[in-house]
Amino acid sequence: MKAKSTSEIAWRPDPSMIEASNLQAFMRFAGVADYDALVARANAEHGWFDDMLLRHVDYRFYRPYDKVIDESRGAPFARWCVGGTTNVALNALDRWRGTPTYDRTALDWIGEKGEARSFSYRDLDRAVCRCAEGLRALGLGRGDVIATYLPNVPEAAIAMLAIPKIGAIAMPLFSGFGADAIAARAAVAGAKAIVATDGALRRGKPTDTKSIVDEAVRQSPSIAHVIVVRHTATPIAWRAGRDHWWHELLEGRAEESQTEEMSADDPYLLVFTSGTTGKPKGVVHTHVGFPMKCIIDLGLMQDYKPEDVLLWMSDMGWVVGPMLVYGAPVMGGHYILVEGAPNFPDPDRMWRLCAERRVSYLGVAPTTVRTFLAQGSDPASRYDLSALRIVISSGEPWTEDAWWWIFDRVGKRRVPILNFSGGTEMIGIVMTSVVRPIKPCGFNAEVPGIGADVVDESGRPVPPGTVGELVMRGTTIGLTRGLWNDEQRYLETYWSTWPGVWHHGDFASRDAEGHWRIYGRSDDTMKIAGKRTGPAEIESLLMATGHFAEAAAIGVPDPVKGSALVCVAAPKPGVAGDDRLAEAVIETVVHGLGVPFRPKAVTFVPELPKTRNLKIMRRVIRAAWLGEDPGDLSALVNPDAVDAIRAARQKD
């Protein structure tokens, strides 16, 4: 057995896998010799790659596009498939009518208690049509934002397909959010309605989700309708005229419903992500953009096929949820939607489901793998995982022990681990493909057409093996069309560092053999359990209590979650920084953002380190809390604050 090194090849594809891959089929169609030639031409002839792929996969349009890309306003505001009309529902459901796919399984659902439901494409299409007609009966339609605050139940997929079918915009929310987080996003989006459950189960514990929604709606005057899915039979408060039972809204509706003809670049999906400052950012995706990027990343680069059984236990509020709901059916695939956690009610639940359902295509986050590693799981000795052919991963960088555990102990060095890294804004920038060898924890390919690169502070490419900033020098059909109603913030956040270059905010490197590594965020943004979270949103909750003069939220390493939340705050004069206040901080964060954001620790200090223009230095706070070298402190107006954090940390 080879030594476990991250600089050597750990897996190589055999010729039969390469020959049968989706990527090889596309390269034959496009008339290119190999992947390097594909990337070179895609980067040089902007739009050629996307035009060829649209034709190859037969993406459906009501009216064909006149021009594949219009960059007259520059790369940040590129328009795709100009003049064409389509709808994601046309490509996910309507196109399969009258074909063998229509009677194949589209979706299997498994509840936390073991309940199961199955939907063929015919079943799913009819349910989506009934939902679309129900939404129209409420006066909802083109351009309206409709939020979904749902656990992984079949109605989540049905609603998220019905919303764009009527020309509206789906806004999936993380199912663990508190009322304040929901209200903040609803306010940004001007949401007209929200779909929720009466209650939910989280590791066997019931949650009254309807009461959370009621509190959020009280802060959200734009929301006129609350649609409630009966899931746990939880007693709930009811407001006549505003609240509607899902089953009553759909009852007796027609099983055929018109799909709205939309401009290809019209928005249909609004997914929120957070930055280091300010309110949450609403990332806008379109009827041609997001579905095609799912095809590029999952289908082309990572070889998802219609005959695969796909399982990825993820929340709908993270971009992976919409990838399943829209990506799998656009490719005619079969996916499993699972309510609850990978390791509850039994510790190896995810692996048991893989064996029982003959999962061939498994998605995981490194956080999930570390959980199994920490609990001493040995799934391959307990379950038949022979159907597994591919593991895909995203969300955060791998740790070496977790990567080798799943490669050695689960896949027996037979199953490739295909990583991809990008974000809510465009899914993947760099990927791992089955047509190239794989190094542990790494990526072996850039996505064609986007000009991925690693640069220094001046925007110049760095030599192989040097860590720098990950950037895109082009644009992609799947790139967000901006931030919701905030063009200036979009430009400032992503396009202002270097002219015409997308600054992604991840540290990365690329070796001499073309293999990439990602090292995590280069700014203050945290990833808690794989979910990107901005400190400002957490800090605003603390400041709203009235107890603090200033506050900072930082992410610190955690052996299971990868990154955990720590709150460091300076109480106002007369406010005691004691255990009672620490518990109040924890309750405030959980109430506002949900249990997954529960702080690991709360530390009180007299003041936070700040620059001379009074910018709080979170990187310095993090270093001081961890006992690391905080680096250059010459810009601080109060360097003694660093020692105060260290001293407070030692007392905790």
CB 428: neighbour CB atoms within 10 A? 27
CATH of residue 224: 3.40.50.980
Domain membership of residue 237 (yes or no) is yes
Residue 590 covered by a domain = yes
Instruction: Mark which of 227, 260, 293 sits at the end of a domain.
Output: 260
Q: What is the mean pLDDT of residues 413-441?
A: 95
Give the chain's length.
652
Between 550 and 480, the higher pLDDT residue: 480
Q: Decide if 335 contacts 328 (C-beta within 8 A).
A: yes
Cβ neighbour number for residue 446 with a 10 Å cutoff: 23
- Residue 322 maps to a domain: no
**Residue 540 — pLDDT band, cuts 50, 70, 90?**
confident
* pLDDT exceeds 60 at position 459: yes
Do the Cβ atoms of 158 and 297 come closer than 8 Å? Answer: no
- pLDDT value of position 634: 52
Run of H or E including 364 = strand 361-364
Residue 423: closest CA among 550, 532, 517: 532
Q: Does residue 610 surpass a pLDDT of 90?
A: no
- Strand segments, DSSP code E, in 405-490 are 417-423, 427-431, 445-446, 452-455, 468-472
Per-residue pLDDT at 33: 95
Q: What is the CATH number of the domain that holds 541?
A: 3.30.300.30
Judge whether 380 lies within some domain. Answer: no
Last residue of a domain, one of 212, 245, 260: 260
Q: Is residue 24 domain-resident?
A: no
Residues near 584 by beta carbon (within 8 Å), at least 6 away in sequence? 545, 547
- Residue 3 located in a structural domain: no
The pLDDT value recorded for residue 525 is 66
- Domain total for the chain? 2
Whole-number percent of the chain with pLDDT over 70: 95
Position with higher pLDDT, 423 vs 2: 423
Q: What is the mean pLDDT of residues 429-439?
A: 96
Where on the phi/psi map is residue 614: left (φ > 0), alpha (ψ -120 to 50), or beta?
left
Residue 549 belongs to a domain? yes
Mean pLDDT confidence for 112-121:
97
21 found inside a domain: no
Q: Which domain holds residue 241?
A: 94-101+122-260
What does the pLDDT read at residue 1? 32
* Residue 203, pLDDT score: 86
The mean of the pLDDT values for the chain is 92
Q: What is the pTM of this model?
A: 0.86
Q: Which of 197, 225, 260 is the last residue of a domain?
A: 260
Query: Region 269-290: what's the mean pLDDT?
Result: 83
pLDDT tens-digit readout, 49-99? 999 999 999 999 999 999 999 999 999 999 999 999 999 999 999 999 999
Instruction: Report the pLDDT value the prediction gives residue 334, as an integer from 0 to 100.
Output: 98
Which amino acid is located at 554 in the chain? I
Q: For residue range 21-42, what is the model confidence (pLDDT) as tens digits? A: 999 999 999 999 999 999 999 9
The residues, ordered by sequence, that sit 6+ positions from 489 with a Cβ below 8 Å of its Cβ are 278, 281, 483
- Sequence-separated (6 or more) residues with CB below 8 Å from residue 435: 13, 17, 18, 21, 23, 24, 35
pLDDT of residue 252: 97
